[in-house]
Structure 1
Amino acid sequence: MPQPDERPQSGTELADALKQLRKAANLSGERLAARCAMSQSKISRIERGRILPTVVDVERLLKALEVPDEIERELVALARRANVQHTSWRTAAEMGLWRQQDELKALAQSSTIVRQFLPAIPSGLLQTEEYARQVLEPTVPGDVSWNAQRAVRARMESQEVLGDTSRRFIFLMPEHAIRWNRVDREVMAAQCAHMANMSERPNLDIAVIPQSAKVRAAPLNVFVIYDERLVSAELFSGKVVLRDPRDIAYHLNLFEFFYSHALTGDNATAFLRSVSDDFMRERG
């Protein structure tokens, strides 16, 4: 997964274009900063490619530079492309899936609040070792292969971030995500009991949307929101990283909408224990 400030090729083009437009307008970085109420150091970092500007940043810069409408539309579109990046699972596997676990841990460590919407299965941060071992084994024809043993080890190590009580983690799942018979019944029972125990930690909020709840929206895909910096969305083909503030705001609204239908706190903990008991009774 890309890090928050990592820049795709479209970001390089954008930085170069903004720098050339400033020079063409015969403006120094200081004068441009004054015009758009942005620090000169930030403008310098944008032009040197040290940070990727948001779409809002680009709009402010272009307005201050008074560029023609056609150029503004082109560069705003470029900014939107730069703020979206797709990484295929095949690429992740070639790099080593365990590396992705390290990157996820680093993202969580650099965030104050991590919100995860999980319509498929529980988060890797909440998985038991046996559950992780079984779900990381390729099962569908065409699935990419990776070093599952190393990926499991990295996933277990990534869970260390949950011990930092200065950070808050919110895990939101529909009931079918915790009941999906992905692994053996005993492993499912242990996984649900583990999540019930984890939900009692002060910095963890595990919320479950019960099947009985009427929800007027479909849970289409997994997404994770890191503070208000970026969104990572999972697809069958890979992951998409979104940095546009409007995309982030929309996903925050989505998260709050689904969360409003969920069991939380002691109710969620009791529900998870009841599901664990159900799986234990089904073992035979």
Structure 2
Amino acid sequence: MTFDPGQLGQSKADLAERLREMRKRAGRTQVWLAKRCNISQTKLSNIETARITPGIVDVELILRALDAPQELVAEVTALARLANTEWQGKRSSWRRGLEKRQAELAGLEKEAEKLRYFLPAMVTGLLATPEYIRASLDHSPVDTSKTVARKLERQAVLYDTAKQFTFLLTEQAVRWEIVPPSALAVQIDRIASLSHLPNVRIGVIPLGVPVSRGPMNTFTVYDQRLATVETFTGRIVFQDARDITEHLEVFALYERHALFGNEARSLLTQWAQSCRP
């Protein structure tokens, strides 16, 4: 099934309708199907009315119980995967107010215990200086003053030692000059400083390191339950376990090629010095 952001909102209703139709065509009641799938009848009812979105495992159990043909299994499984994906367009974020997006991110960070950030292009707000944050929002056609403040407030989460953070940055991300060289030096110094926090691991991947897979997108994985991927026009939120697992595997690949600890700080110091006159 081709990914189309415009389909995402409708896919949940389509999935619910398809599962309901399949059960009725098979001549089965909700009570019978719920028992066969070892789920409550209330949950099955909520699935069939699109009040909740079933995970891939639930969908596979239902399809197996209904003895669905293979071609239908493939179609409905693809629909379920689409239903577990959310599109958040950039223009929609602008209309709602960028500070609301910061509140959503703060909520995700509050709930998660292990957070992984892959940053191939720019520094994320959690690691950024105020000047860097303001420069990164220059393209936004809205008032960004509240967003800058909220991004800075969010940085307090780094000091919560109950959480573990891993940031992977390419050399391009660290050295991308969206601020003047003197300000970039301060930004790089901040990254090096935060790497001393006991619950924060910061890895850098210098140019010239051979990696078999190109760094296509910025992405974040929250525990093993959700992954967000940044694009130019918006953000994709994955909740399908297979999508999350694949992003964890990509993250692990780059993690194996990154430098951490004193080696990373030594490189960061060199890059910061190169920005100073």
TM-score, length of structure 1 as denominator length: 0.86
Determine the structure 2 residue equivalent to 1:158.
Answer: 154
Could you tell me which residue of structure 2 aligns to residue 106 of structure 1? Answer: 107
1:56–1:245 CA contact under 8 A, matched in 2: no
> What is the aligned partner in structure 1 of residue 4 from structure 2?
none
User: Deviation at 1:106?
Assistant: 0.8
For 1:12-51, what aligned pairs fall within 5 Å after superposition?
Answer: 12-22=13-23, 25=26, 27=28, 31-38=32-39, 42-43=43-44, 45-51=46-52
- Residue identity (%): 40
**Secondary structure of 1:8's match?**
helix
Residue 184 of structure 1 pairs with residue 185 of structure 2: no
1:43–1:146 CA distance, 2 compared to 1 (3 A): same
Kindly tell me: are residues 43 and 164 of structure 1, through their superposed partners in 2, closer, same or farther at Cα, counting changes over 3 Å?
farther
- 1:41–1:127 CA distance, 2 compared to 1 (3 A): farther
2:125 paired residue number = 124
Q: Check the 8 A contact 2:131/2:179 in 1, yes or no.
A: no
Match of 1:137 in 2: 138
Moved more, 57-66 or 187-196: 57-66
Deviation at 1:258, TM superposition (A): 0.7
**Higher mean C-alpha displacement, 37-46 vs 92-101:** 37-46
Give the drift of 1:218: 0.9
Q: Structure 1 residues 19, 149: closer, same or farther in 2, change over 3 A?
A: same
Partner of 2:216: 220
Equivalent residue for 1:269, pick from 254, 265, 268: 265
Measured in 1, the distance between the counterparts of 2:175 and 2:70 equals 53
Q: How many Å apart are 1:262 and its aligned residue? A: 0.3
1:201 is the counterpart of 2:202: no
How much is the aligned-residue C-alpha RMSD, in angstroms? 2.2
Instruction: Tell me, in whole angstroms, the C-alpha distance in 2 between the residues paired with 1:265 and 1:40.
Output: 52
2:68 is aligned to: 67
1:42: Cα distance to partner? 4.8
What is the rounded CA distance, in whole Å, between the counterparts of 2:159 and 2:29 in structure 1? 47
Distance 1:176 1:262 in 2: 13
Rounded to whole Å, the distance in 2 between the matches of 1:202 and 1:41 is 45
Is the deviation greater in 62-71 or in 112-121? Answer: 62-71
**Greater Cα offset, 34-43 or 199-208:** 34-43
Alpha-carbon distance change, 232 to 64 in structure 1, aligned in 2, over 3 angstroms = same
Per mean C-alpha deviation after superposition, the further-off stretch among 59-68 and 102-111 is: 59-68
Partner of 1:4: none
Distance 2:11 2:174 in 1: 39
Offset at 1:41? 6.1
Task: Specify whether residues 194 and 81 from structure 1 end up closer, same or farther in structure 2 by C-alpha distance, changes over 3 A only.
Answer: same
The two structures have a TM-score, normalised by structure 2, of 0.88
Runs of 4+ in structure 1 over 6 Å off: none
Checking the alignment, whether the CA contact within 8 Å between 1:115 and 1:171 is kept in structure 2 is yes
Higher mean alpha-carbon deviation, 115-124 vs 69-78, is at 69-78
Rounded Cα–Cα distance in structure 2 between residues aligned with 1:181 and 1:18: 51
